[in-house]
Chains A and B, each alone.
Chain A
Amino acid sequence: MSEIVSYQPRGISLHRINAMVLRYWYLLMSSWPRLLELIYWPALQIITWGFLQNYISQASGFFAKAGGTLIGAVILWDILFRGQLGFSISFLEEMWARNLGNLMMSPLKPIEFLLSLMIMSLIRLAIGVIPMTLMALFFFGFNFYAIGLPLIAFFCNLIFTSWSVGVFASGLVLRNGLGAESIVWTLMFAVMPLACIYYPVEVLPVWLQYVAWTLPPTYVFEGMRSLLTDHVFRADLMAWALIINAVLFVASFAVFLALLQSAKRNGSLLGGGE
């Protein structure tokens, strides 16, 4: 081993994860459009849905009682959606920059790469969602943080789901090249109608309710409605969400590694184009 290189542990290296986080941080700080984009859409969302919430609260006794369910749902949906985008866009940056070959040839391991993408998803989420929650407080009087400790359970479950979807979508792009990029932007929307973000699960036909209950976000949005309308925290729902998330998380990693192997068989790692 060359004398200028430090000893490297065989397992996961925090040093390499830090290097990748630094890489994305440099990128974010060098580009104001990227930063603005992180805040722009969440801000538009909260303004639109905030006014809608105000309007229907005046017109409907139920929504007056369940103050904030719409705004709360919008913020939680954004955690789910932006969490996945934060993960996947950092991955796409490597594809757009044609840098994946350099990374794959370096000592960076796939698991370290994925962990750095998760950290970046948290950083990007914080930049986008924290201003959103402050806007909800100042413009519409909805204090998202007043949810208290259950918020931690909601957040953890949603972010795990977003990472699982992000890992899976990134694997598809890795295997199929940038021609599969649209999957990154649209995959989470397939979850949207079944996760029952803005309406209770009972609204769905019975057979579809079974499908909905296989998705961890369904438990979170049901749990949020229970908390905001009935003031009851459903720990059982959070526990189920966590169990399903654990299965999804492991499965998404396995699929990513299988797709990486397939990309190596297919020879697409050095290309990455369409």
Chain B
Amino acid sequence: MQQSGTGQGQAPNQPPVADQGGSAAIDVANLVKLYKTTRAVDDISFRIARGSITGLLGGNGAGKTTTIAMIMGLVLPTSGSVSVLGAKIPEQRYDVLGRMNFESPYVDMPMRLTVRQNLTIFGRLYAVKHLRERIDQLAVDLDLKEFLDRSNGKLSAGQKTRVALAKALINEPDLLLLDEPTASLDPDTADWVRQHLETYRKTHNATILLASHNMLEVERLCDRVIIMKRGKIEDDDSPEAIMARYNRDTLEEVFLDVARGRLREDAP
């Protein structure tokens, strides 16, 4: 099933899950991506409201990473359109790149450079004012102080994730795109990262789109969930509404229903 993100079944006290007006942070319309004969993304449409956290759920090969890459302008769509913060992507992407940032397990920070050097480089690329103070602030916020002058290659997976998050927040982005932000983290660090993301969204009214396999994370963080399967949108609503529709207590159960092709009507 494909929806345009109107948020059917949304609980009354939930924040808006989709932007009906012209000020959506992300506006995706009839997006298609073909790799030779494979339809990685198959005619999807959605709008994401400013200040919301939206989860993109789906199994391997569902099209989540390709969708995010097209939103960033790193992959060109076969057809359809993407607008980010009012700018057409990819044509006007340089108008808004300074207001966006991202984190992905598919990229790394240079290993030989220290954390401080890496943050300095990216801070300069994003033209961050008072960069030294900004890095010090991030070091406090994300608990990087003790390894700020250690090379990135010598950090643990959890420390690297925090550094990647610091890089993603260096320019205080209005839009944050996260691909598996807590993959390979222990539960404590993962929880800590989620807390930080929640706080950042609240304090900066930022929009966050995150792709994840972690259902608990999506349940806890997201106002809205878009479930993808084989490049198509299977469902799109608030976590509570989706769980209610499938008559399930957790998103993980919903995910299994979707992955195994069980229809909502068949759910217990």
Contact = CB atoms under 8 A, between A and B. Distances in A.
B104 interface: yes
A22 interface: yes
Nearest to B112: A30
Interface string A247-272: 00000000000000100111101110
A7 B35 CA distance: 38
Contacts of B174: 2
Interface in B52-71: 65-66, 69
A58 interface: no
B72 to A, nearest CB: 6
B99 A264 contact: no
Contacts of A3: 172
* Interface residues on chain A, size class: 35 or more
B260 interface: no
Nearest to B120: A22
Interface residues of B, number: 46
B117 A26 contact: yes
Contacts of A104: 74
Interface stretch (A44-52, A68-76, A93-101, A220-228): A93-101
B100 interface: yes
A26 B152 CA distance: 13
B121 to A, nearest CB: 5
Contacts of B33: 267
B230 interface: no
Nearest to A94: B110
Interface string B124-152: 11111110001000000000000000010
Among B35, B66, B125, B172, the one with the most A-chain Cβ atoms within 10 Å of its Cβ is B125
A100 B121 CA distance: 14
Given A26-B113, A271-B106, A105 B120 contact: no
Contacts, number: 126
B97 interface: yes
B75 to A, nearest CB: 5
Contacts of A271: 106
Contact of B126 (A99, A101, A106, A264): A106
Contacts of B74: 101, 104-105, 264, 269-270
B263 to A, nearest CB: 32
Nearest to A93: B110
B268 to A, nearest CB: 39
B94 interface: yes
Interface string B70-96: 001111100000000000001000100
A199 to B, nearest CB: 42
B113 A4 contact: no
A5 B65 contact: no
Contact of A101 (B106, B124, B125, B171): B106
A101 B107 contact: yes
A261 B108 CA distance: 22
A269 to B, nearest CB: 5
A29 to B, nearest CB: 10
B122 interface: yes
Given A2-B172, A97-B111, A107 B97 contact: yes
A15 B127 contact: yes
B124 A270 contact: no
Contacts of A109: 94
A99 B107 contact: yes
A149 B92 CA distance: 46
A22 B124 contact: yes
Contacts of A27: 110, 112-113
A106 B97 contact: yes
A26 B114 CA distance: 9
Nearest to A34: B112
Interface string A1-14: 11111111010010
A19 B170 CA distance: 15
Contact of A30 (B98, B99, B128, B151): B151
A268 B90 CA distance: 16
Contact of B128 (A5, A23, A100): A5
Contact of A97 (B110, B128, B134): B110
Given A104-B74, A105-B102, A4 B122 contact: no
B132 to A, nearest CB: 12
Given A23-B113, A30-B113, A270-B106, A4 B173 contact: no
B122 A270 contact: no
A264 B76 contact: yes
Contact of B75 (A6, A99, A269): A269
Given A6-B127, A105-B100, 18 more contacts: A1-B98, A1-B99, A2-B99, A6-B129, A13-B127, A15-B124, A16-B124, A16-B127, A26-B112, A26-B121, A97-B110, A98-B106, A106-B122, A107-B94, A107-B125, A267-B40, A269-B69, A270-B65
List the 3 closest pairs (A to B, CB-CB), nearest first.
A19-B124, A101-B107, A2-B172
6 contacts: A2-B173, A4-B134, A4-B171, A5-B98, A6-B127, A103-B125
